[in-house]
Structure 1
């Protein structure tokens, strides 16, 4: 399977806020797609980026590192980051990695 078949990204702008939805698997093969989606979204200079992970079905160690790097990338642009759809187990794991503390969880689903 191709990476774009394993992870789909959807971007929706609302004023100066961008909603970026990741759906599928976040791993070694697909992390570059997530990085590119964030880079593209940030090129529009949003005030806030809402990262929706509701559709994320799999996230391994590489996916966790990718989320950590994406978080850092977003914060270096002084863009507010809001996280939605994060499974509680993944939220706890990210908290252990000190990543979740820099995110504003707006909804924990499942």
Structure 2
């Protein structure tokens, strides 16, 4: 399977806010797709990026690194980042990362 078959992204804009929905698997094969989409979205200069992970079915360590890069990208672009629709296990992992490393994940919402 091609990476774009394993991970799809959809964006919806309203004003200075963009909703980026991620569907499928976020792993070594697909993380570059999220990176590319995020770069494209952030180039337009939104005030807020809401990353909806409701339809994310898998996330490995490479996916976690992609989320960290997204956090860094949004900070550099002076864009606020919110994560929404997190599976409880991913929420737990991100919360643990917050306590175990200097990285602070963005606001976590359901």
Is the TM-score greater than 0.5? yes
CA distance in 1, matches of 2:44, 2:105: 22
Q: Is residue 83 from structure 1 mapped to residue 44 from structure 2 by the alignment?
A: no
Q: TM-score, normalised by structure 1?
A: 0.91
TM-superposition CA deviations, 1:44-100 (whole Å, max 9, x none): 100000000001000011111111111111112110111110112111111222288
Q: Is residue 10 from structure 1 mapped to residue 7 from structure 2 by the alignment?
A: no
Q: TM-score, normalised by structure 2?
A: 0.91
Mind listing any 5+ residue stretches in structure 1 that lack a counterpart?
none
CA distance in 1, matches of 2:48, 2:94: 20
CA distance in 2, matches of 1:37, 1:45: 13
Residue of structure 1 in register with 2:74 after alignment: 74
Mind listing any 5+ residue stretches in structure 2 that lack a counterpart?
none
